[in-house]
Amino acid sequence: MEKVRKAFNERPALRWGVLILTGFILSVNYYFYDAFSTLKDLLMREFGYTNTDYGLFVSFYSIPNTFLLMAVVGGVILDKFGIRRTGFTFIFFMAFGAMLTAYGASDFYRNGGPGYGLMQSILPGYSPELKMMLLGRFFYGLGAETSIVVVSKILVKWFKGKDLALAFGLKVGFGRLGTFAALQLSPVIADGGAHLSTAIWFAAVLVLAGLLAFIVYMLLDIKLDKQTQPEVKETTGKKFKVSDIRDLLSNPAYLFIALLCLTFYSAVFPFNAFAPDLLFHKFSMSYEQSGRITSLMPLGTMVFTPIFGFLIDRYGKAATAMIFGSITLLFVHLTFAFTYVNPVYPMILLGIAFSLVPAAMWPSMVRLVDDKEIGTAYGLMYSIQNLGLWGVPILAGVLLDKSNPGNPETLDYTATMIMFIALSLLGIFFAFMLKRQDKKGSYGIDLPLNR
């Protein structure tokens, strides 16, 4: 049986093929998430959104994972029922939510299509377009985070002991490829608002293609399980206990890495959602120009994350990498807040920071938990992360509206950037605490993964 497993699971071409397939799912996920950042001003003009409305739209993605703990539930379901059932269910939710969001922005819906009257009758303080798009964003977020947990477990299944950090680095790179494409293509397709609905529909159809890609992966996964575990059904899993989550949260190293994840990602993803608008107002750029500059961040991560993952596989120092990445992020936000340095340079540095931390953070989880609990561990971590992804965009929008009364033509982003600086400082603190706990608890986070 072991020989059969090695003949199949350890074929490099097959492993990397699986990575490409699942990487495509991540790319379209991130494309849809970031497609709206360069459309912010167009959404405000077309639908009458305020900065707070836009922040609410961005944050609605995280509501199911923050308040319903769906990433945790999804991780538990993943450990119990396996990759195929869990993945298909939640990627379906992701695709359904994307299509619903696009429907809410469509002319057909706005001209009285199904659901318009209902949305018009409830919560009259918000437009029917915003309410339908929020509903779609909710379902999209319901599926998207757990789909990332599923992809993480797929990589552990196929790459543990075989370039796992490199695989996670490439996984991050695929996600950033989606962000890069969104920032480049979305404003071009929207064409100054003439084809705003088309740009959103294009993003939604890509997510639907991601569902089809996962169905292809399911066929490969079935074959792998038949060869490696002919007597074991995929639905066989451990029984979930509430104590599993309690044990995770009582592990200081896990707690510090989760808090670093919360603060670091809260200082990156919400910033990225507002960055094109920041460049538009502070540097008087067009949205096409600001989108191209903002896309340097994901472009940098596509290049650097696999390199850092390769080095961590062989030489370790993951905890140290998280410290350097967190310090770099602070420098980036200070530069954007208080200088007029060409934004190209801090955006490239942001790409380096956002390569160092994820390349080290996600594969380090195998040092802290057993394989049978990896889905729950990742799911809980994504739910903690989503607390920030929910609250920070709303706070950013409120700060913009409060610090710019009357909605002037040029927005002052200083108060919003101070918030991102504070989050960066917290991230540095948690990174140092993780390093200290690693030495104290001998978890081996700084050791090479290929050993």
Q: Which of 26-30, 238-242, 377-381 has the lowest mean pLDDT?
A: 238-242
Report CA-CA distances (Å) from 60 to 32, 136, 242, 287.
14, 9, 27, 24
Average pLDDT over residues 41-53: 85
In this predicted structure, what is the pLDDT of residue 325?
96
CA distance 320 to 121: 54
Tell me, yes or no, whether 273 lies in a domain. Answer: yes
Lowest mean pLDDT among 111-115, 258-262, 376-380: 376-380
pLDDT band at residue 429 using 50, 70 and 90 as cut-offs: very high
Rg (CA), the chain: 21
* In the predicted structure, residue 143 carries a pLDDT above the cut 80: yes
2, pLDDT greater than 80: no
Amino acid 4: pLDDT:
41
Most confident range (mean pLDDT) of 5-19, 23-37, 232-246 is 23-37
HSE of 47 in the Cβ direction (CA atoms, 13 Å)?
27
Of all residues in the chain, the percent with pLDDT exceeding 70 is: 91
Q: Among the listed ranges 81-95, 179-193, 252-266, which one has the minimum average pLDDT value?
A: 179-193
Q: Residue 235: pLDDT band by 50, 70, 90 thresholds?
A: very low
Q: Does 390 score more than 60 pLDDT?
A: yes
Q: Is 118 among the domain residues?
A: yes
* Three-state secondary-structure class, residue 252: helix
Residue 407: per-residue pLDDT: 60
Number of domains in the chain: 1
CA distances from 168 to 32, 39, 306, 312, 420 (A): 21, 30, 8, 11, 26
Q: Which of the two residues, 55 and 434, has the higher pLDDT score?
A: 434
Task: Choose the weakest-confidence range: 99-108, 137-146, 234-243, 315-324.
Answer: 234-243
Q: How large is the average pLDDT for residues 243-266?
A: 87
- Angstrom distances, CA of residue 150 to CA of 90, 212, 241, 407, 443: 9, 15, 20, 42, 24
Mean pLDDT of the chain: 85
SS3 percent helix, strand, coil of the chain, rounded to 5, is 80, 0, 20
Task: Please report the pLDDT score of residue 295 as a whole number.
Answer: 83
- Pick the range with the lowest mean pLDDT from 41-50, 160-169, 205-214, 332-341: 160-169
Read off the pLDDT of each residue in 182-194 and give the average, rounded to a whole number. Answer: 86
For 102-151, list the strands marked E by DSSP. none
Pair of tokens at residue 137: 């964003």
Residue 236 has what pLDDT?
A: 46
pLDDT higher than 90, residue 90: yes
Contact 303, 352 (CB under 8 A): no
Is residue 451 included in any domain, yes or no? no
- What is the span of the domain harbouring residue 187? 11-441
d(CA 200, CA 178): 14
Mean pLDDT over residues 404-429, rounded?
87
Helix (H, G, I), strand (E, B) or coil at 446: coil
The Cα–Cα gap between 298 and 355 comes to 9
Residue 268 backbone class (left: φ over 0; alpha: ψ -120 to 50; beta: rest): alpha
- By the 8 A CB rule, do 199 and 186 touch? yes
pTM: 0.75
Residue 245 pLDDT greater than 80, yes or no = no
228 part of a folded domain: yes
Report in angstroms the alpha-carbon separations of 305 from 28, 92, 311, 361, 378. 19, 28, 10, 11, 19
Q: Is residue 292 part of a domain?
A: yes
Give the model's pLDDT for residue 23.
Answer: 92
The answer, yes or no, to whether residue 228 has pLDDT greater than 80, is no
Residue 277 to residues 38, 273, 323, 338, 397: CA-CA distances in angstroms?
A: 7, 8, 29, 17, 12
Q: Is 450 inside a domain boundary?
A: no
Which pLDDT score is estimated for 1?
Answer: 37
**pLDDT for residue 405:** 78
d(CA 376, CA 260): 18
Question: Which residue bears the tokens 């090695």?
Answer: 6
**What are the pLDDT digits (tens) for 296-327?**
888 888 888 889 988 888 888 899 999 999 99
Q: Give the pLDDT band of residue 246 (cuts 50, 70, 90).
A: confident
Instruction: Give the side-chain half-sphere CA count within 13 A for 54.
Output: 26
**pLDDT (average), residues 230-255:** 66
Model pLDDT, residue 227:
64
Q: How many residues does the chain have?
A: 451
Question: Where is average pLDDT lowest: 211-220, 223-232, 410-419?
Answer: 223-232
Element (H, E) at 102: helix 83-104
Place of tokens 């002991």: 161
Give the integer Cα–Cα distance in Å for 250 and 194: 53
Is 447 among the domain residues? Answer: no
pLDDT of residue 368 exceeding 80 = yes
> Using the 8-state DSSP alphabet, how is residue 406 labeled?
T
- Domain membership of residue 449 (yes or no) is no
Q: What CATH number has the domain bearing residue 360?
A: 1.20.1250.20
DSSP secondary-structure letter at 111? T
Count CB-CB contacts under 10 A for residue 110.
17
Tokens of 92: 């379906």
What's 35's DSSP letter?
T
Residue 3 pLDDT level (bands cut at 50, 70, 90): very low
Does residue 65 surpass a pLDDT of 90? no
Q: Which residues of 160-179 are buried (b: 16+ CB within 10 A; e: fewer)?
A: eeebbbbbbbbbbbbbbbbb
Cβ neighbours of residue 20 closer than 8 Å, sequence gap 6 or more: none
Lowest mean pLDDT among 9-13, 101-105, 412-416: 9-13
**Picking from 25-29, 329-333, 380-384, which range would have the lowest pLDDT averaged per residue?**
380-384
User: What residues contact 406, with CB distance under 8 A and at least 6 apart?
Assistant: none
